[in-house]
Amino acid sequence: MTRRAPDPAVLRVRWRETLLAARGDHPGPDPDPYADDLLRRWSEPQRRYHTPTHLTAVLDHVDTLHAHAEDPAAVRLAAWFHDAVYLPDRSENEERSARLAVRALTEAGVPEARTAEVARLVRLTVTHAPEPGDRDGAVLCDADLAILASPSDAYAAYTAQVREEYAFVPDDAFRAGRADVLEQLLALPRLFSTPYGAEAWEEPARRNLRAERDLLTS
């Protein structure tokens, strides 16, 4: 099962609401050009999984988890920027995405402290390992990893899209690398840090990860 492609107009409205909430009383330029730039980035041709559909899913999960966050506006902005720079053959995507967030949000009128928090959260998606007490980090990381707890057909679609993004990697190398990633995830004491994520997503995610690992290593 695949999700219907999100409506760009709806995403622009969500961006505008988020940016205005994050800006508060600070003045700033029209939010719409920033939305257009981000949506253009999220729609680049090299993407198969890291698309506006994934962005929408993460934003929806943040909405589900927002009561666990200290600064939901910062988390929502981080969701918009966390894969804004994405080249599958590069390792510095998160860092470049964080720097983009700082440039754009500073220009857009978001206060310095909140902008710094957004950049920190984007960088946290390298490891998806928030420290205890990092409520904003827990919400963003759980929202980003929620795909792992999908029903089996949606999880299969996700893994197929990831493989398409890494089509330049030979099959044997991809299988070995992906299996290593799965083992690292399964070795974590917990995948999800919010109470909601731990209750609703932990076991389904581990079940999917084990099934994919066994398929890759059989």
Task: Give the H/E segment covering residue 120.
Answer: helix 112-124
Give the pLDDT of residue 5: 81
Domains and CATH numbers, the chain: 8-147 (1.10.3210), 148-217 (no CATH)
Q: How many CB atoms lie within 10 A of CB 161?
A: 18
- Residue 105 and residue 77 in contact, taking contact as beta carbons nearer than 8 Å: yes
Report pLDDT for 2: 47
Residue that is written with structure tokens 């990831």 in the block: 162
**DSSP line for 117-143:** HHHHHHHHTTTT-PPTT-HHHHHHHHH
Q: What confidence score (pLDDT) does residue 3 get?
A: 60
Block means of pLDDT (10 residues each) for the chain, length 218 residues? 78 98 94 98 97 98 98 98 96 97 98 98 96 97 98 97 97 96 93 98 98 94
Whole-angstrom distance, CA of residue 108 vs CA of residue 9: 20
SS3 content of the chain, % helix, strand, coil (to 5): 70, 0, 30
